Every structure is written in structure tokens, then in C-alpha cells.
Structure 1
Amino acid sequence: MTEILCNAFRTVIATTPGNLLATVYLTANKIAPPHEGLELGIGEASLVKALAEAYGRKEEHVKKQNSELGDLGLVAKASRSTQRLMFQPKPLTIDKVFSAFLAIAKQLLESHSFDKYPFTIPNSKDVSFIVFKRPIMVMAFDLLWCKESGANSHDKKKNHIKGLLVAATECEPLYITRLLQSKMRIGLAEKTVLVALGQAAAYSETCPNPPLQTQSPLEEVGVPIGPMLAKPTKAVSEIIDKFQGMEFTCEYKYDGERAQIHYMEDGSVEIYSRNAEWNTGKYPDVVSSISREKFIPAICKPTNSSSAVLFKKDTAKSFVLDCEIVAYDHEKQKILPFQVLSTRARKGVILSGIKVTVCTFAFDILYINGQPLLQEQLKVRRQHLYSSFEEVPGVFQFATATITNDVEEIQKFLEAAVNSSCEGLIIKTLDKDATYEPSKRSNNWLKLKKDYMESIGDSLDLVPIAAFHGRGKRTGVYGSFLLACYDEQNEEYQTICNIGTGFSESQLEERSASLRNKVIPTPKPYYRYADTVNPDVWFEPAEVWEVKAADLSISPVHRAASGIVYPNKGISLRFPRLVHVRDDKSPEQATTSDQVADMYRAQKINHANNHEEEDDD
């Protein structure tokens, strides 16, 4: 696959280099970087309508065929193959398709701009205005002044889709439809695209066009990078063994939302999630505590005087911080659980309407005053962090940390972290192999949670794809759910367990109500499950649940990591329990089958029944 893709990129570079950027984005099933907030994700109902009109079919017939085939792309291909053409349409080009996708995304942004971005029309009673640098955000702002009616915008979007479908031939309707749904289903992982692009650039006599030249991370403030992640560990003794002879530090692991805060020299601020999604509109209070006051209108100044205090020193002209934003009770001066933070609106938050207040805990700095720090050791990065900022209690604080290699002291520090409403500890090397590794789950960062010592280690983020009707006291709600991990290579969801215990009545009602509108008549063709699994209903992959379990075992029934660890068998979870719903993750960002296999291998003791021919659910 890499070779095929590399040769395709080389061909584009040699013949039409101006199309390389669009080619790479379409191959990766994207139209822009995540931080631009520009996506397609067209709803199935809109696609059905456009497809029916483009190919002269009735909507009910399209819906029926979609239920039979389980893939709207296949329906589009079949519809085109049976349609008679009076004349041959002009061939589609990369540029034409990509331009149409951008136009569709513009219509979507137009119709949702009031909901997605924290702008309101001037002279309204509560204005929340934030300064942006990127063109897409400026476009979002401009669109507010020429915003068309929803119906007109919808018609324009539909016409763009129809234009593509009418011009598409052979297999093109299949992939155009899937691209519009952001579900290519060709088994092509993004990492493969990047490797192929790198090889193509190396082999080609001329380099790719400037937008695609590989830049060192954080050469430009305002463009996020993937955060460094930690690997789970189950015991303090394991930490001592792994970091033997090295100086390391222990930090509190806060139960909040990972944030990368970018501060530009002009005083503007951008906040990104761990997935590089734009989160500035979710945390205007954090923005206001960093920005120079001239960028915050008087009407938007926080009423809490403490949050008006700037925590950055005058010497910090531009920076990028790695932080955790947590819910915080200012009266009691205590951290609140993640469940409280999750009740905060995800976008368009207005300062005067904030009910869930937060505190920012900084634990790393990646850039300061024009100087990237990724290649510096953690000890050096910490010096920059501590010298460039001052703590403001309840608003901005440094992550609580200690330096020790004493087992008892680490154990006491872990207990102190848990008593402070934290999840546990993050242990990091300080001055050896201690550079910042973006988008990598590194062996040089370990995480230790209190409940890790009683279970498999890390939790899993899984997708509910089916359910069984409840009986007895659970009549009227779903009694248990079928969960799946995600296989990146094959782009499929693989079952890993049934979960039905540990739910309160209110939780069951809430989860059942949330999933009822996701019910589909038949399982998706990219669901992998055993023939013996017969749930009462199937769901669209829509939610992500964080789940803990006692351990992992080889299963003849479930298909997670099938064939990776054990021939013709998958891996299942024993005694799974729901922790909470992950609103910050999409189904494609669920725990992967490779990660499941790694977690299974990491178990120090694999019981004999892990290899027995039985379902351990």
C-alpha cells in the first residue's frame, strides 16, 4: 500500500505539483488540518436526498438499497451503473473535487457558525469576541455578515454534491460518497499516508510545493502538535525497575481535559484539545486570564477578580503550554471530578454564563519567545516554565511534582494525589531521554493510577455498536451493550465485550435514550463479530465509553485483535465496568486493536483460563 501511494504522490509531484496538497488531504480523508475546524461529515439523510436527485431515483428506494448493502457508497456506484447517459460528463479532477468539498464545508460552516464559534452580532447584550489569526476563523467571522437562510445554504450544499455525483463515473461515485461521509473504508491508515508522502518527497527530483514541506514542530505558534502520551504501569516497583539509574520526577495526574495553549506576540490566544481540535471557544475564561486586556471587551471581563490577574510574566512574549484544564470549586479551593467538567458546553461559551469554573494546571512548555523547546530535556523545559509564569491560586497553577526514587515516598505521593481528587501520577525522566516526543506514547512517561493496581492497567475507550433489551427491572431500557475497539488498518470495529453490570438506573436510562436514535436495521459491513452474537439492536458508531476491567483474556467469541496474539481468536475483557462517556473522542479515536494486544501482552500474569475455549464475559 505504501509503495502504491508513494508512486501516486510521485506522479502528482512530477506532473501537477499544485494538486499535491489536495491529493494528500483526500487520501487521508480530510479537507483541512484538525485545528482549522473544517470538516465534511455530511449526514446520511442529506446524501440520500442528493443521490436520489442526481440519479433520478426515489428516496425510499435508495434507503431500502442502503439497508440491504449497508454502504451508501455501494448504493451510489450501483445507481450510476444503471443510469443511462445522454452524453459523457467531463472527467472529474482532483482540483474540481477538492474545491467542491471546500464549498460544501463552507455551506456547513455558514449554517452552523452561530453554534460553533463564540461570535454574536454587535450591539447584542453579551458579546464574546476573540482574536484569531488563521484565515478559516476570519472566514467564519465574515460569514456572519452575509449569512444566508438555512434552506438556501442547504440547497447550495446539495447542489454541490449532486454536481459531483452526476459527473462521477465507474468507481468514483463509491469513493466520493464515502469521502463525504468521512468513511473511506479502504484500510489506509493516516500513518501510511505520511510515510508514503515522505518517501515520495525523497525520491522526487523536485520537492513538494511549499505547503507540504515538512516543518520542524512548533516553528509557528498557533498551529498545534500532537501531545506526548504516557504508558500505563501497575506498580511503583515497576517504575523503579524501568527508570533504574535515571533521575525522574512524579507529577499529579489531573482528572480534566488536556489542553495546548498557544499565546502569540500580538496577545491573541488559541487553545487546542489533545486531538488538535479548536477549543478556544470552550474556555473564554482561560483566554481572558492570559490575554492582554485590550483584546477582551469590557463587557466580557470576568467578574471574579482573581481570574483577571495575568499569570504570565512580562518576559513571556509568546509561548506554547501543555496543560490540564480541570473543573475547580473556588469557594472550597478543591478540584472537581471530570464528570463536572463534562457538563460544560463544548463551544460558544459566554463568560457571563459560565457555571463550571476551571483551573489550568501547567506541566510542560514547548515553545517560548521564538525558541522551540521540544529537543530540550524536561529539566530545562521546567526551568523555562517556572521562570516565565507565576501561580494564581484557582486560576493557574503548576502541576504538583516531586523528585524521588524512594518507593515509600512515591507511594505516599500517589496517595496524596488521590486524596487531592487526582487520578494518580505521571512519572517522567528528567535529564536523560527526556525530550518532548509529539504524538507518541513514550516509555519515558509512565502513568500510575490507584485503581491500576487492582486491574489491567489502563482503561479502554470503546464504542457501543449493539445492545440487548433489558428484562425484569430493566424492561424498557437496554440491559447490556456490545462494545468494540477500532482496527485502524482495516477500518473496522471489532467486538471486545458485553457490558451490563455497574450501571445505575439513571445511567442505563441515559445511555439507552442517547443510543435509541442511533439504531440501524442491520450491522455495518465493517463490524467484526461472531455468528453466535445476536443482539436485539445495532447502532451507528457514535459514542465512545471509557471502560475499566479486571483483565484481558483470549476469547473464541470476540474479535478484538483477532489473530494478533492468538491464531483465529480475539481478546475480550473480563468484568468490564463503565467509567464515563468520552465526549472528547470520535469512534475512530477509540482504543485500537493493536493497543488491546499490547495491553494483553503487558499483563504480568496470564491465568491458565486465558487460553481456555470459553467466553469470559
Structure 2
Amino acid sequence: MASPSKRRKKSSPVTSQQSRNLDFFFGKQRQAAAQPKAVFDGASEGLTDEEYARKLAEQWAKEDETRGSNAGGPSNTTVTGVKKRKLSSSKATEISGMEQQQQQQLSATGGEVGYGQKAREIPPSLPPLVGTGKQAVLSVPPTPKKTAAVLLDAASESDILIEEMPFDTDPLQFDPDIYGSLVAKWPNGKAPYGLLTRAFVLVNSTRSRIRIVDTLVNLIRTLIRLDPDSLLDAVWLTTNDIGPSYETNELGLGGSIISKALTKTSGITPAALKKLYNKHGDPGDVAFEAKVKQRVLIMKKPTPLIANCPAIKNVYATITKIALTSGKGSQESKQRHVERLLVDAKGEEIRYLTRTLIQHLRIGAVKTTMLIALSRAFLLSAPDDAGWKCPEIPEDKEGRQEAFSKAEEVLKRCFARRPNYNDIVPAMVRGGIGVLQAECGMAIHVPLKPMLGSITRDLAEMLVKLQGRAFSCEFKYDGQRAQIHCDSDGKVSIFSRHLELMTSKYPDLVELVPKIRGDEVQSFIMEGEVVAIDSQTGNIQPFQTLAGREKKNVEFGSISVHVCLFAFDLMYLNGDELLSKPFRERRELMKSMFVEIPRRFIWVKSLDATSADVDLVREFFRSSLEARCEGIMVKVLDNSNASQTLSPEEEEESMKEERAPVSKGKGKGKGKSKENEKEDGGKNEKEKGGRRKALLATYEPDKRLESWLKVKKDYDSAADTLDLVPIAAWHGSGRKSKWWSPILLAVRNPDTGTFEAVCKCMSGFTDKYYAEMKEFYNDDESEENNINTSKNKKAYYETSLRPAVWFEPKEVWEIAFADITLSPTYSAAMGLVNEERGLSLRFPRFLRKRSDKSIEEASTPQFLADLYVKQEQGGKKKADIPEGEADGDDVDADDSQEELEVAEAGV
């Protein structure tokens, strides 16, 4: 019986074929060898960027016409239509108006301006290009109107001037007004994305915090003077976000979308793109190499489309559209937006645009830096016709620094209460720093950043810190911290500790909150802990039970995990802020104005005491552990206006703190500015002369103060914990050969955005968790959805070790350890306590995955250094420790010697 292939051959029509002898095959090889090798597909070979862009535009036009003719298209793909996340009316109107302006420009220039929904309408016949590179012009007859050649020359001249702008100079020596002539050269008078890119390049080229701040200050001042309408969009793009954290800002761009867009817009083959990624590891660097350097082999110098020099507003509007796009066909629509951005970008714009699309800009300019830069910029510059003037800046250094510090404190204070640049930046444009406190206070349904507590090693240390003060001890429940907002209409919003909206996760609380209000309560903001409980007995359930609840869109009738809200603070009531009131008064208002509902809404269990009530506090702490709590929170009840004299024991402790090593401010992550020291809550608690600063009982958003102290069951001299991020792993051996072991862990440097390796961990994992970890961090190359591992080291990972696989930074693990040691192998906190060695952990042990924390909340090098200093002050002396143990490696009883040797070798 004939095989299937033979049956198909018989049934196929007979065609004349060339006789394939040896000469035929060798001839093909010689012909292939004679042709130059190229890494590009045939779609772009021999075309300039200008010609290739126009070819893509024609293709997109046909695709758009086809999509428009179909009745069923992707839903939620336009800014003005129905969408998953609603924009403010002013923002939607702004984007809609911008699209109309783009279409008007389209009809005037014969091409599309910006990134609207309509296709690019390129005329069927275009005049040829004359010249090459930035001087290339279109050979069109002169007309009285502004010609395309003039526009292109103006764009080229603008590019050259922007590339030479000295943003990194002293702001007092920088004058943005001398660049006023650039506005006439910008399309529609809007600042180009290249202006933002120029600042990114300068910021990314230095580790000096002063120079980074100066660069951002000068960038912001330039936009204030030349294009204030683009300032807000530039701020969002610089902070690597597109909106406040309590809105849905996920772009939903997978690696495949960006890879396909790169292959289509640059002409590079997927195989060559993969080689570039293996070489660089950073998507931005890969895009830059693919789009700029590789195409130079067969193409002329890139020339941007005349009508499509990407403006800051257009880039931000397009990225916003990507985030809003959902429904059927959304992935194709997102890819088209990405392609159009990449086509219009040039040079360094491509690198930072790609990093923005993956939401990892990695320029070392964190949100705190942006607040400092904004405050200083608005002290030095004001928009034209703004109706307000900048204050006089003192000429002496001390006076100038004092003026800067006051402005920074005002802005940081307002941002902690209303963390939304959409409110703050327009207010500053209208009236400067002076209007912030009046216009940008607390508001219902806008979360404020929570106040944080400092760590104490044990009850004894806590009692010493609060000696002579009245305080309240509260159960520290093992649940999820929640901020509850309710307005006069009964609308409820619930936010997490990192300001994510989780109202849809707790429909039972949404239904409950209006019922707890007393007769005189109209609107309020309350804080509490959401804890899983047994609805029948009221017993507290472990956090893992709460973690098993669905994350969003929970149906009220399908709730299987019941929760109770344990309220502990009231920050806003009937339109009045309560933050400046002492904790005792806020708590009394909460208990008198709201009604408890058993097993659903109750107050946290508390005990009021002083440092003399040692036995009572100890018994209360023990009862919290018996109730399945993590420990206790201790809060100062009343403001203390007078400084208190230290006892002899406190005096000795103060002397130890004065002798503690401090950062010298050199190298990476070393040293803190005065502003950051203030943000850390004033760790230098003691004043000269044996006097102590007063601890306030007010609520201080976004600050970690010692008026709130945490005492947890594992906060003792040998059981500190750290929240670390797994970044890499080795293959296990012996019984663990099918899993990852050990795991490389890191702290996160919030100043640079880098992850600094601190130890390898192979203890505390169950077999079940090993299997789950292997499934989550799957390195099987055949898996198309494998997005959590890579063979290449991330550019923002700081370690000299060479693991078998690198992880994407996606989880936070709580790690216990014996003590902290100096290490020649690990770079964590290098320079904070020792100029040549970092810090590592001895005998690290996995406790649990912190699903309630994002990677931005992982432990920092400074926190690690502080624990090390406390350890040394406690008199802990390390004996002679083997090098491997000192570097933080430990061995389970089940781990073989071979596995330890592999971990030590780092191969």
C-alpha cells in the first residue's frame, strides 16, 4: 500500500521540474556564497528608513481600512469609548483635541501627525529624496507655504541643539530662555521626545545624585518656560509610570509584542534579534542595536518622517492608549501602536522608548528625586503669563539650601497626602509651590501614603525607647493592611498599603462599611487590618487563608474566605483632616463615631501602658502570639512638647549611636541626602547634652518614625528577618536535582533601582514549594509562555556570581538568618559599613513568600546596614567563620556536599 506522501504525489498535477543533479545543488551553493550575507528579511533590504517607514505606513493604512470595514473589532481600544479604566474628563478631552489637531496637520502636510487612531495617509507618489542623513530633503517645488524641506531642516537643527543642551550643569548657571527659538522648530510647537531622551542619557551616565537632580531640574525648567503643556506627560514618563498607582496602569505588553514590532520596523530577523538579546540582555539596548546600528550595513543614515517627529505629548498619549486597549484584537492593536512609536523614534529615543514600554526605564531617577527636582525647578522658573513670580533665592549657600529644603518638604508633604502628579503638577503651573497646601490636600477616594513603624529587636529595647511616655500596645494581626474611604453618598473605595485599588476584592466590606457609620458621620478615611476569620467561631485564620481569596472581581455570593476589619486609626472625618491630632484623640473619635459589628468590624485589641508596666506589656505580647498574631504595634498616645532628660542607660546607648559607623557618601548607594534622612523618620533620636527630641503622636504619611514601633515574635537577637528578592538559581543535585537549589537573593537599592546580591539560600523550603518554584521559574525553552527566567544576567543585577539561570524580579521572600557578616563575595550595602566589602547573611532560611509586598518594598541596603550596626552594638562577636559560611551559604541536612561545592563555585 502506498504511503500518504506517495498518494499525495500521485494525486497532484504533473509539473515540469528541472533535473536536480549534482551540478544543480552545487550551483545553488555557489550562488548563495556569492551573495552577501544579511541578517534582515527581504521586506526592508535596500530601503532607507524614510522609504521603509512610508512602506509600513501604506501597509498600516490598508490594514486600518480592512479593520474599519469589519463590523466586529477590538473593544475598548479608543480613549473616548467604553474602556476598562476611565480617564478624567479633562484628560480625555485633551487627548481627543490633540487627535483633531493632528488630523488638521495631516491635511496640511500630506502625512499623519502623532499617533491617532486613523491610518497614515501617505500620498501615492512622493518626490525623491535629495542628499543623505540629516541634510536629506524632499525635492519639491518652492511654494509660499512652509515646505517639507524647511520642516525637515528645522527638525534636524532642533535635534542638533537638543543633543548639546547642558542639562547637567548647575541650575543657577542654566538659563532655559536662551533656547526659546527652538519652539518654532518643533512640530506644532510641542517639545519633542528627544528633549526628554537627552535628559535620560545624562542621568544614566552618572551616579552622582547631585548631578541627577540638577539634570532633572534643568529639564523641568526648560519645559516650564518653553512648553508647560508637556510638563505633566514628561513627569509621568520620567517616573516610569503613566498614572497614579491606584489606577490600572499596566500596559500588558509581553515580550513577543515588542519582539515582533522590532523585527517588523527594523528588518532584523528573529534569529538575529535573539542573538542581540543574548549579548545585551536589556530590551532597550537590543532595540537600539537592531534599529540603529545593524541597518547601517545596507541603509542610509536614519531620517525621521517630517510630520512625525515624536513629541512628548504624543508618546505619552500613545502609551496611555496601549494601557486602555482591551478586548478582542487588543494584542494586534497594541502591537501596531508599538510599531508606530518605534518607526518614528531615532537614536537614543529607541533605547529609552523600549524601556518605557517594558516599564523598566532604569535611569536611577526615583520618585523622591523627581519631587526634589520639581520643587527646585518651580523655585527657579515660572511659565509666561502665569500670574505668579518665583521667590528670591538667597545668594549664600546656606540660605539657598534652606529655601530648597522648605520647598521640598512642602511638595513631599502634599504628595504623601495626594500621590497624583495629575493634581500636583497643574496646580504648581497655575500658582507655584505656594498653592499646594490649599489645593492638594487629602481627598476622598484618593489614598494617602501610610505611616510606617520602626523595628525594635525586643520588648526591652522598645521600653527603653519609650521610657517616660504613655503608649498603646495593639495586636499586630497577620492580614492585609487596608485604607477605607467612604463619601457622603456611601461610595466605598479600599486601598492596599502600596495604594493599589482592591475594592473589587472585598465586596463584603463594601457592603459593610456604610453600616458602621454613626448618625453624625458623613465621610471618612479609616485604616485597619483585613484578617481572615472563621465566620462560625470568630477565630483568626492564618494569612495563607486570606491569600487564597481571589484577587479581584470577587462575586458577593461566591465568597468562601470570610474577613473581618480590625480598625486602628481614623485620618479624615466629615471633610476635616485629623492627621495633626494626637493618636489618643483620633482613636477616641473613631470609637465614638462608629459602631462595631461582631466578627465583621471591630477595634484592634489594645492596652494603654507606660514603660513602668513591664509585666503587663509582656503578658499582652504573649497573648498576641497565642491569638495567632505576628506580635504587637506600640504607638505613642500624646504629643510631648518638652525634651526629656536621658537616664544613665539611655545616655550610654546614645554614646554608642554616636560612635556607630556612618556612610561617607562615596560609591554606589552610599550616603544619604539630608532630605532622605528626614524621610527615614529622624533616626538620630538623641540630641546633644543628653536630651531627647519629642516624639509626636501625629499621623505622618509616608514616614517611618519611632513613635510607632513594631515588636514581632521573630524580632530578637538571633531571628531578624529580611524581605529579599530571588534573582537567580543553580541546578540542584542529589535529591534536589529536579529543582532549583540554592537560590540567589538580593536587596533592592531604591536610589538606583538595582538589585544587590546578598546570599544564597537552600534551607526552609518544602518539597511542595520546590515544585511550585520550579514550575513558576521554568527554564524549558520549548515553553512559549516562559517569561520568568532568562539565560542572561539583567543589567540591573549587581553580583559577580554565575548561576545557571536568572530570574525575573517578581517575588519578595521573607528570610530569617543567624547574623550578618562582612563578605568579599557579595556587594549588598558595600560602602555603607565597609568600603571594600559588602554584607551577607549567615545561615539564611526561607520563611514565606510575601505576597502582600511588591518588589519596590523589598529590604534596602541601608536597612541591611542598619541591622548590621545594631548587631555590632549588641556586642555580638563572630568567631572564626569558614569563608563559605561567612558569605551566607548554609547546608540542609538533606543537601549533599556536591551541591554545596557547586553553590560555592558559582557555576
Q: Does 1:430 align with 2:637?
A: yes
Question: Amino acid of the residue matched to residue 28 of structure 1?
Answer: T
Question: Amino acid of the residue matched to residue 356 of structure 1?
Answer: V
CA distance in 1, matches of 2:317, 2:770: 44
CA distance in 2, matches of 1:324, 1:423: 12
Question: Amino acid of the residue matched to residue 878 of structure 2?
Answer: N
Residue 232 of structure 1 aligns with which residue? 455
Q: Does 1:439 align with 2:702?
A: yes
The offset of 1:606, in angstroms, is: 5.5
Q: Does 1:43 align with 2:250?
A: no
CA distance in 1, matches of 2:331, 2:428: 31
The equivalences for 1:198-597 within 5 A come to: 198-206=375-383, 209-210=426-427, 214-215=436-437, 219-291=442-514, 310-405=515-610, 406-432=613-639, 433-457=696-720, 459-516=721-778, 517=786, 518-530=788-800, 533-597=801-865
CA distance in 1, matches of 2:456, 2:251: 39
Alpha-carbon displacement from aligned partner over 1:585-611 (angstroms, at most 9, x marks no partner): 332332122221222222233544389
CA distance in 2, matches of 1:455, 1:324: 28
Residue 64 of structure 1 aligns with which residue? 275
- 8 A contact 1:486–1:592 mirrored in 2: yes
The offset of 1:489, in angstroms, is: 1.9
Distance 1:161 1:451, change over 3 A: same
The offset of 1:365, in angstroms, is: 0.7
Question: Amino acid of the residue matched to residue 470 of structure 1?
Answer: G
CA distance in 1, matches of 2:588, 2:732: 56
CA distance in 2, matches of 1:210, 1:74: 37
Q: Which has the higher helix share?
A: 2
CA distance in 1, matches of 2:324, 2:231: 22
Question: Amino acid of the residue matched to residue 202 of structure 1?
Answer: L
Instruction: Name structure 2 gaps, 5 residues minimum.
Output: 1-211, 389-424, 430-434, 640-695, 779-785, 890-907
- 8 A contact 1:553–1:610 mirrored in 2: no
Alpha-carbon displacement from aligned partner over 1:234-263 (angstroms, at most 9, x marks no partner): 122212211122211111101001110110
The offset of 1:578, in angstroms, is: 1.8
CA distance in 2, matches of 1:204, 1:383: 46
Distance 1:417 1:221, change over 3 A: same
CA distance in 2, matches of 1:456, 1:416: 20
Q: Does 1:187 align with 2:459?
A: no
Residue 223 of structure 2 aligns with which residue? 12
Structure of higher CA gyration radius: 2
- 8 A contact 2:725–2:810 mirrored in 1: yes
Question: Amino acid of the residue matched to residue 196 of structure 1?
Answer: A
Alpha-carbon displacement from aligned partner over 1:211-238 (angstroms, at most 9, x marks no partner): 8764577531110011111111012221
Distance 1:462 1:551, change over 3 A: same
CA distance in 1, matches of 2:793, 2:303: 38
Distance 1:607 1:244, change over 3 A: closer
- 8 A contact 1:426–1:445 mirrored in 2: yes
The offset of 1:361, in angstroms, is: 0.6
With the length of structure 1 as denominator, give the TM-score of the two structures. Answer: 0.87
CA distance in 2, matches of 1:588, 1:290: 30
Distance 1:483 1:87, change over 3 A: closer
Question: Amino acid of the residue matched to residue 551 of structure 1?
Answer: D
CA distance in 2, matches of 1:363, 1:492: 35
Alpha-carbon displacement from aligned partner over 1:263-289 (angstroms, at most 9, x marks no partner): 011111000111100110111111111
Alpha-carbon displacement from aligned partner over 1:123-169 (angstroms, at most 9, x marks no partner): xxxxxxxxxxxxxxxxxxxxxxxxxx1xx211211111111111111
Moved more, 220-229 or 551-560: 551-560
CA distance in 2, matches of 1:29, 1:44: 18
Instruction: Name structure 1 gaps, 5 residues minimum.
Output: 112-148, 292-309
CA distance in 2, matches of 1:524, 1:256: 33
CA distance in 1, matches of 2:322, 2:252: 10
Residue 341 of structure 2 aligns with which residue? 164
CA distance in 1, matches of 2:555, 2:822: 49
Instruction: Give SS of 1:443's match.
Output: strand
- 8 A contact 1:41–1:182 mirrored in 2: no
- 8 A contact 1:218–1:225 mirrored in 2: no
Question: Amino acid of the residue matched to residue 411 of structure 1?
Answer: R
CA distance in 2, matches of 1:527, 1:386: 48
Question: Amino acid of the residue matched to residue 199 of structure 1?
Answer: R
Instruction: Give SS of 1:209's match.
Output: helix
CA distance in 2, matches of 1:336, 1:576: 27
The offset of 1:582, in angstroms, is: 2.0
Question: Amino acid of the residue matched to residue 52 of structure 1?
Answer: T
Distance 1:589 1:63, change over 3 A: farther
- 8 A contact 1:523–1:538 mirrored in 2: yes
Alpha-carbon displacement from aligned partner over 1:151-205 (angstroms, at most 9, x marks no partner): x211211111111111111100000000111111111111001111111122223
CA distance in 2, matches of 1:513, 1:32: 33
Question: Amino acid of the residue matched to residue 887 of structure 2?
Answer: D
Moved more, 511-520 or 260-269: 511-520
Distance 1:606 1:476, change over 3 A: farther
Distance 1:424 1:158, change over 3 A: same
Question: Amino acid of the residue matched to residue 539 of structure 1?
Answer: F
- 8 A contact 1:456–1:552 mirrored in 2: no
- 8 A contact 1:554–1:570 mirrored in 2: yes
CA distance in 2, matches of 1:194, 1:525: 26
- 8 A contact 2:791–2:804 mirrored in 1: no
CA distance in 1, matches of 2:508, 2:274: 46
CA distance in 2, matches of 1:391, 1:18: 49
Higher relative contact order (CA 8 A, sep 6+): 1
Instruction: Give SS of 1:609's match.
Output: coil
- 8 A contact 2:442–2:448 mirrored in 1: no
Question: Amino acid of the residue matched to residue 34 of structure 1?
Answer: S
Moved more, 411-420 or 565-574: 565-574
Distance 1:536 1:17, change over 3 A: same
The equivalences for 1:5-154 within 5 A come to: 5-40=216-251, 42-82=253-293, 83=295, 84=299, 87-89=303-305, 90-107=308-325, 110-111=326-327, 149=328, 152-154=329-331
CA RMSD of aligned residues (A): 1.9
The offset of 1:616, in angstroms, is: 3.8
Instruction: Give SS of 1:99's match.
Output: helix
Alpha-carbon displacement from aligned partner over 1:420-444 (angstroms, at most 9, x marks no partner): 1111000011111011111111111
The offset of 1:456, in angstroms, is: 4.7
Distance 1:390 1:54, change over 3 A: same
The offset of 1:87, in angstroms, is: 4.8
CA distance in 2, matches of 1:401, 1:48: 56
Instruction: Give SS of 2:516's match.
Output: coil
Distance 1:586 1:49, change over 3 A: farther
Alpha-carbon displacement from aligned partner over 1:291-330 (angstroms, at most 9, x marks no partner): 4xxxxxxxxxxxxxxxxxx222122211111111011112
- 8 A contact 1:554–1:610 mirrored in 2: no
Residue 132 of structure 1 aligns with which residue? none
Q: Percent identity?
A: 38
